[in-house]
Amino acid sequence: MAVLNEHFDYEDIREYLDGQLNKFSSPVHLRIQSEKLRNLNAFMIAAEFQRRGHFVVWEKKSRFEVIDLEPRLSFSFSHLRGYSRGAISLLRDKAVFKRALSESGISVATGVAVPTHDKEGGRQFVAKSQTACVIKPACGHKGKGVTVGVKSDDQFDYAWDLAVKENRDESDILIEDQFSGGVEARFLVVGGKCVSVCRRIPPIVVGDGVKTVDELIEEKNAEKRKSPGQVIRQIKLDEHRVGLIKAQGFSLDDVPERGTYVLIDHKAGASTGADTLEISDLVHPDYLRIAEHVSRVAKNIPVLGVDIISKSFSGVPTRESYIVLEGNIAPGLSGHCYPSYGNPKNIVSPIVDHALSLSRSKSLRSLPACNLVERPLSQGAFTSFSEACEEWLDGSVDMTDKSMSFKLGHDVRCSELAKRVYEHNRSGESLVFFEKPPVTTKALTVTFCGDTSLGYYYLEKSKRKYAEAYERLQDNPISFFDGVRPLIDGSDEVIVNLETVLSHAPGAPIEGKEYPGCDDPDVTIEVLKELGVTAVTLANNHTMDYGPDKMLAMIEKLKSHGIAVIGAGRNLEEARKPYHIQMNAEDGVKNLYIFNGMRSTRRYMGYGFFAKKDKPGIASTSFKAMSREIQKVKSADPDGIIIVCPHWQGIDYQDTSEKHREWSRAIIDAGADHVVAHGSHKADAVETYRGGKIFHSIGNFVFNSPGRYKAKQAEPYSFVVSLTVDEMLRSSIRSEKICTDNKRTGFKTYVVDEVDRSNEAPEKEKSFSGMDYCLQKMRNGNALVVVDDNWSKGRRVHSGQHGKDDHEIIEKAKRSNVREIIASREFDGEGIPVKYVENTLQYFLDAGKSARRKFKGKVLAVTGSAGKSSTVLMLSHVLRSMGFSVLSTDSNHNTIYGISALLSNLNDDYDFCVVEAALSGFYRYENHVGKLISPDVSIITSIDVSQPELIESSEKTAYYKSKIYEGLGKEGGAVYCNNTKHSQHLAFMANAFSNNPVSYGDDDSTVSLKHFDVNAGGSGKVLCSIDDEIIEYTIPTPSRAMAYNSLAVLSACKALGLNLAEAATSLASSPKEKRVLDFYSGALFGKNIEFVDDTKNATINSVKEVLKVLSAKKVTGKKIFVLGRLVHLGEHERNIYSEIAALLDEFTPDLVIGLGDEVKPAMAGLDGLVFHGILQDTDELMGELSTLVEDGDLVAIKGSSRGTGIRKTADRVISEIR
């Protein structure tokens, strides 16, 4: 109970906590609150006016006017507008209001107001404080930016930065001593009189001895969803709240004993899932007077919420027993009307009473022009309001959100109609609202926004790296749009490309679909509605990620909330149907039609994305079909404006091609007026064509993936496009540039000021950026270095440039979108820029060094005689699984040249770089690759004679490879294998160059292998000990050597301080290295066999490993082992083959076949029944296997991949099996 006692007096409220939440029968209010049909505060006040016969006209969902009063009364939420404007200014600045309260004798928290530029001054105040502190913005909003319990430096930095971010008007930051031992209550003051007091209780569940904590939370949430006052107070879990539960000794799966309290959060706000307790009858009268006093200081604002903390609300207040926190001008009412516990209070009547005292009634015989909007609530048939009141209304009334105006019938009083509205809304069949119509003299603005997603899929994967963005997603998702809301505020229609699926339980994505997107439907729709989004385009490459059923459910959900759908539907007809917008003006009507479709590709046709006559899906950009639909519209409405919104899937961060552009021009030729395309995540060219505008791509709006702008060398911008039709029915279209690179903005998309803001912090042009020399291994968008005579002949041949003329080189390079040519001779770039340098080799090597020096992330270097490629692959996967962005060596590109090429691609997009280093990089160069890489963590996987023609002994191999540690700083991590050859030398070097050595292997290692086994499914099961903690996990490859490689990965994670349990778990999904114990099964020559391809490389250790696996594998037939030759053995060839002969004798397969005369020494001593002979080529081997294999056999091929042709042999077998 220590955690509980510290935060609230649970004993005083035990009778409530041990009971049930209040139950209310208010289905209409519940629907309004849960579905955001109207702001419930405003609706309840409006309904009370209607009950009394006053006519209400709505302006927005949260704002209405009482029009039969003089002066007219206007409410926004619970705030009576137009009164006490001075009070609003006073309350807005917490520091000023706090000072005013203190001067009037009211107790407030002690503290200081610190300018935002004086962070260190604030830090000093916290350091000197005898209590924990509260840090908040002086001009905040809805509790945003408030942090409690600040004591340490880390807490201060977090709290200060949060308060500055949420601060308004560049005002000060408030730092106050935290009031301890008290609880908080909201006092509602109306017209200077306190009418209700509502205690706030942090979210808590009570054990029943049966349900888990998780089940108790869901049970309570289910009850909350039944109450209008609690449905918005759902308990939501995050890392902070799970940690607090753990601090009380529970996990989510634990079952607390009956009567045990589990606190979920310290804060008692709606966003945390707090409960409310109506305590008006329990409060000492002096506290009511204090709240009323606060109201007078606030210049008698009509409706005020006063927040007070007290040690005992039932006792007499003293200056030491309470403080007033703040006043709120638009307080929530549902906690008083529908409290979790205690008796509900009718606080709406006092509000209306007070409002009416400020005005007087006037008789209305007719109404100003307004629209009737009716929202059905009942699933069944019902009589609409317009039908029920047909005799009262002149003219018909349309039952859509774009309703027609009407007039009162003869002899109908306005007050009678108001009461009929009240009674009708109480019935619960439908809701009726009279709304102000669009101003006909006002221009119509339709705003188009690009790809939009809150990014649950992306941020959940990257929540460690982007913790602040992930927290905003949980607590304040609308904040992602703060920087761009000015561009859409005031728009009559807002259309976004919703590139996600909305579902709580999406299930598995379509087979093969990469990057499936899925967002919380309730949160997303709430955000879209708050932004004023009226329609979404859905013809994009994510709408069908989870199949047609999930798409249709999403469409129904959107439509039920008044958001139209474009480009998708139950069938082809629905998907192709344009969205229709009508503008009524004195000079006539102007209609707008919006079409949407996605480029059809074989890939997405295979996924089943596209709608058919009787099949749900999305519309395509079929020119024939879309132009036919456009011509239908044009023939019926020649003056209509047609906007086409194609989605160009498959060109991420690239410019549109000429084919795309030709399509856009052709669709305008077919009758469209403008094209507003998206799909590339970036802004593209804008073209004027035949009087219309073509936005070849507007890019993103708010799309919460980290993005790859810098990696793809794309400009970090997108467009928001607005089409305006003025009162003379003339149209114009314009765009605003926004910055949508989330890595650059910190997930805070903003409007770019072309004059000032875009130049505020310009990107520095790097002297080096992304270079390659090998035509076969070029990264997209890199520069190509033309090899010259400074490069060795072997490297010139390896580059793929040898023997080719300039045109042939350029043709190859264009396939990788080469951005620049680096040359030391005259070179024809055929339009690609050419930069001339004196020595391209030196320039290339310097590029890697320069990028490494500038890189702020961590670099990990891996070397070893065997296992380094597998370790790089697994380590990169683990880091990516933990949410980090990783650049890593690909395809054994591990020489100094490959390493320089890799390092030249480093930039701020990456958190880690994992580099594989070959032996040649250590002995050939005085400034070896260890110094070039300058790693933060160095890993040596094993030591053996792997290239004896270069290094004649394993001792020298250990000597050279241990140079990888020389590039470390003393705080870097030195990882080495403890049970390889010359491990003592590795340990000596690791300790000499690092204060943080980590050994792995068998016993007496920091990370030690305790047990390894092969699972039934063919994966490996590993049990290891790390600092005496046992961790069990799975690896995809059933190999003990691979288990040791996984220990190397965990050792690196330990050196980096990462979560080892999480890292171990992610190893199970690590991709297998190709041609390392790859298992296949199928029919070979009509016989069902298993086949093992292990032709990645060949060393003594790897030969031993495949023989071990072969020996342990249970089969019903024979085990046939095919050994190809091993390369680069030099003078050690005979000794190594002799060792292999001993291994074959130890792990005797049923049959052994040699491929090539070089392997004869390995066959010496084999029993004649086992040794089947030496074959010379693939055809001969396949012929022999055709006579040997039988059902149930296992065939394994092992050998060096380079220069032996053995891969072709393995591929031949695989192709036959498949």
Q: For residue range 127-186, what is the model confidence (pLDDT) as tens digits?
A: 988 888 888 887 766 567 788 778 888 889 988 988 888 776 557 888 988 888 888 899
With a pLDDT cut of 90, the percent of the chain lying above it is 37
Residue 294 to residue 140: CA distance in whole angstroms: 19
Residue 80 placed within a domain: no
Residue 1081 to residue 1090: CA distance in whole angstroms: 4
Between 541 and 1113, the more confident residue is 541
Average pLDDT of the segment spanning 113-130:
88
The predicted-structure confidence for 198-208, as pLDDT tens digits, reads as follows 998 888 999 99
Residue 442 confidence class, pLDDT cut points 50, 70, 90: low
Average pLDDT of the segment spanning 375-389:
74
pLDDT score, position 1139: 78
pLDDT score, position 837: 86
* The one-letter amino acid at 1165: G
Q: What are phi and psi of 114, to 5 degrees?
A: -115, 130
Q: How many CB atoms lie within 10 A of CB 796?
A: 17
Token pair in block for residue 442: 């006002």
Residue 959 to residue 923: CA distance in whole angstroms: 9
User: How many structural domains is the chain composed of?
Assistant: 6
Q: Are residues 809 and 733 in the same domain?
A: no
* Least trusted range by pLDDT, from 221-230, 277-286, 621-630, 699-708: 221-230
pLDDT score, position 462: 84
Average pLDDT of the segment spanning 1067-1088:
83
Contacts of 435 (CB under 8 A, 6+ apart): 57, 58, 59, 370, 371, 372, 373, 403
Residue 627 placed within a domain: yes
Average pLDDT of the segment spanning 1068-1085:
82
Q: What is the DSSP letter of 911?
A: S
Domain boundary among 759, 793, 814: 759
> In this structure, are residues 582 and 589 in contact, taking their beta carbons and an 8 Å threshold?
yes
| Residue 509 domain boundaries | 443-759
Q: Are residues 205 and 343 in the same domain?
A: yes
Q: Are residues 539 and 661 in the same domain?
A: yes
Q: Are residues 634 and 494 in the same domain?
A: yes
Average pLDDT of the segment spanning 1167-1195:
86
In the sheet where 1119-1124 sits, what is the strand order?
1078-1084, 1087-1094, 1194-1198, 1119-1124, 1151-1155, 1171-1175
Q: Are residues 890 and 1038 in the same domain?
A: yes
Between 747 and 1148, the more confident residue is 747
pLDDT score, position 1049: 96
pLDDT score, position 400: 38
Q: Are residues 662 and 713 in the same domain?
A: yes
pLDDT score, position 587: 59
Domain boundary among 1068, 1087, 1105: 1068
Ranges of beta strands (E only) in 42-155 are 56-60, 63-66, 69-70, 73-76, 79-80, 111-114, 133-137, 147-150
* Least trusted range by pLDDT, from 525-534, 561-570, 621-630, 1106-1115: 1106-1115
pLDDT for residue 764 is more than 70: no
Between 118 and 503, the more confident residue is 503
DSSP calls for 474-520: HH-GGGGGTTTHHHHTT-SEEEEEE-SEE-S---SPSTT--S--EE-
Q: Are residues 903 and 1011 in the same domain?
A: yes
Residue 596 confidence class, pLDDT cut points 50, 70, 90: very high
Residue 407 placed within a domain: no
Residue 1129 confidence class, pLDDT cut points 50, 70, 90: low
With a pLDDT cut of 70, the percent of the chain lying above it is 89
pLDDT for residue 398 is more than 70: no
pLDDT for residue 714 is more than 70: yes
Domain boundary among 797, 822, 838: 838
pTM of the shown model? 0.44
Nearest to 84 by CA among 189, 197, 171, 194: 189
Residue 436 placed within a domain: no
- CATH code assigned at 204: 3.30.470.20
Q: Are residues 848 and 833 in the same domain?
A: no
pLDDT score, position 422: 93
- For 220-253, b/e burial (b = at least 16 CB within 10 A) is bbeebebbbbbbbbbbbbeeebeebbeebebeee
pLDDT score, position 1131: 63
H helical segments located in 395-440:
414-427
pLDDT for residue 927 is more than 60: no
Q: Are residues 484 and 590 in the same domain?
A: yes
Residue 802 confidence class, pLDDT cut points 50, 70, 90: confident
pLDDT for residue 655 is more than 50: yes
Q: Which of 630-639, 922-931, 1093-1102 has the highest mean pLDDT?
A: 630-639
Residue 109 confidence class, pLDDT cut points 50, 70, 90: confident
Residue 964 placed within a domain: yes
Q: Are residues 987 and 1119 in the same domain?
A: no
- CATH code assigned at 1102: 3.90.190.20
- CATH code assigned at 156: 3.30.1490
Contacts of 379 (CB under 8 A, 6+ apart): none
Residue 60 placed within a domain: no
Average pLDDT of the segment spanning 953-957:
83
Report how far apart, in Å, the C-alpha atoms of 200 and of each of 266, 291, 317, 645, 1152 are.
11, 16, 19, 49, 78
Q: Are residues 699 and 832 in the same domain?
A: no
Residue 230 placed within a domain: yes
Q: Are residues 145 and 229 in the same domain?
A: no
> In this structure, are residues 541 and 609 in contact, taking their beta carbons and an 8 Å threshold?
yes
pLDDT score, position 440: 46
> In this structure, are residues 490 and 532 in contact, taking their beta carbons and an 8 Å threshold?
no
* The one-letter amino acid at 816: S
**pLDDT, mean over the chain:** 85
Report how far apart, in Å, the C-alpha atoms of 542 and of each of 528, 610, 649, 706 are.
18, 12, 10, 17
- β-pair partners for 1149: none
- CATH code assigned at 998: 3.40.1190.10
Residue 595 confidence class, pLDDT cut points 50, 70, 90: very high
Between 86 and 1191, the more confident residue is 1191
Residue 771 placed within a domain: no
